Amino acid sequence: MVDKSQFRDAMAHIAAAVNVVTTDGAEGRCGYTCTAVCSVTDDPAIVLVCLNRSSAMNEVFKRNGVFCINVLNNDQRHLSQQFAGTAGVAMQDRFLEADWRPMPTGSPGHQQALCLIDCEITEVKEMGTHSILFGRVIKIDVNRDEDEALVYCNRAYHSVSIGRDATI
């Protein structure tokens, strides 16, 4: 079996888009920073996000039954840090910026994000320390004015130029 720290060190070398995954509904509004986001299939459009099972948000997401993936641009490092909990910002204060708007599912979408992927949870799979939330994509918004993606690799933020003609 592979050592946990060795595994984490190896995973740190995989560059990943930085996302803030949000939800809102009967159980309340919350969100977290996430690099564990993946497309599953395009017909139907399904994505997955991973959420630590020990997180207080885990049950909130499951009970709300919806989430929105906010793909962050390079100027949104502060949002990544706020939603990662490293900036010491209370959950209700993380949504104080005026740029948040409800998506069709009710989940918050940030108007300056590179892309918003609004989803209804169709299935949850428990795997080790995490819940894997599968979401059927309801709506996609792409911000054509942003051209620098925020990525995380080797435990640091980086910028990737995506150009103005990027499409999904």
Query: 138 pLDDT exceeds 70?
Result: yes
Q: Could you give the domains of the chain?
A: 4-36+58-116+140-161 (2.30.110.10)
d(Cα 148, Cα 36) in Å, to the nearest integer? 20
Which tens digit of pLDDT belongs to each residue from 8-63?
999 999 999 999 999 999 999 999 999 999 999 999 999 999 999 999 999 999 99
Name the residue among 38, 53, 30 with its Cα closest to residue 131: 53
Which tens digit of pLDDT belongs to each residue from 88-135?
999 999 999 889 999 999 999 999 999 999 999 999 999 999 999 999
Name the pTM for this structure.
Answer: 0.94
How deeply is 49 buried, as exposed, middle or buried, from its count of CB atoms within 10 A (0-12, 13-18, 19+)? buried
Q: What b-and-e string marks burial along 96-135, b requiring 16 or more CB atoms within 10 Å of the CB?
A: eeeebeebebbbbbbebbbbbbbbbbeeeeeeeebbbbbb
- Number of separate helices (H) and strands (E) present in the chain: 3, 12
